Structure 1
C-alpha cells in the first residue's frame, strides 16, 4: 500500500495554492472596496453574463446556495445589484448589476488584473497558458466524476 503524504497529494496542494491566492485577493478587495470574495465573484459573473438567477450563479461560481444568497443580499443592500422577476420561472428572480455595480466593476477589474499579473509574474506566457489548460482538464475530470455520482 502506498502511503498518503499531503505534501505530495495534488488535490491538497491545489487547495492550499487556491486558498493562498483567494486570501490575497480577499484582503485587497476588502481593504479597497469592502467586498468579500463571494460578492466580487457575483459582481464579475453578472458583468460577464448579464442577468442571472441565484441558481445559475451557484452553477457558474460553484458556490453553495447560502453563500450566493448572502452575497446577493449584501450586494443588494449596497445598491450594487437589482432584482427583477424571472419570466422563465416565477419562483426565482434575475439579478443584474445596477449602475453603481457597473461603476464598482469598472474600478475593481483593473486592480484584479494587476493582482493576477503580480501573482503570476514569475511565469512565462506559455506557462500561464499551460496552467489554464491544465485547470480546464482538472475541471472536466471532476465534472465527469460528479456525473458518475
Structure 2
C-alpha cells in the first residue's frame, strides 16, 4: 500500500492553489479546447503544429489540475498560534546576513509553497533547517548545499 503524502501549506497558500485550480478549470481548459477545435478545423492533423501544441498544452493543464487536486485532498494547514519568539513553520522572520551586511524578511512555509523571490522559504531548505527552533537574537551558521557556510542573526520572529 502506498504511503499517502501530506502537503503542508499555510491558509494563504491553499487559497492561492484553489484560485489557480479555478483558473485552470474555468478558463485555461476552455481556451485550450477552443484551440484544439480550431486546429482540427485546419485539416490534416498529422502535420499540424498548432494541433500538436494545443494537445501538449492540454496535457500540461490536465496534469496540473490533477496535481493541485491531489495536494488539496491531502493538505495539512500550518497554524502558528503561539506568540513565542521561536522560529517555526508559518512564522515570519527578519534575518541579518552577517557576511553581506544585509537584512531580509522571510516566511517559513512548506516545500511546495516555497518561493524565495516572494519571501517564502521552505522549512526544509538549508536556511530553514538551520533557523528552525532558534530564537530572536540567536546567531546561526548555515551550511548551503554547495558546502559553503554563512552566518545569520535572527533579528525578529513574528
Q: TM-score band, normalised by the shorter chain?
A: under 0.3
Higher RCO structure, 1 or 2 (CA under 8 Å, sep 6+): 2
TM-score by length of 1: 0.27
Kindly name which structure, 1 or 2, has the bigger radius of gyration based on alpha carbons.
Answer: 2
Whose strand fraction is larger, Structure 1's or Structure 2's? 2
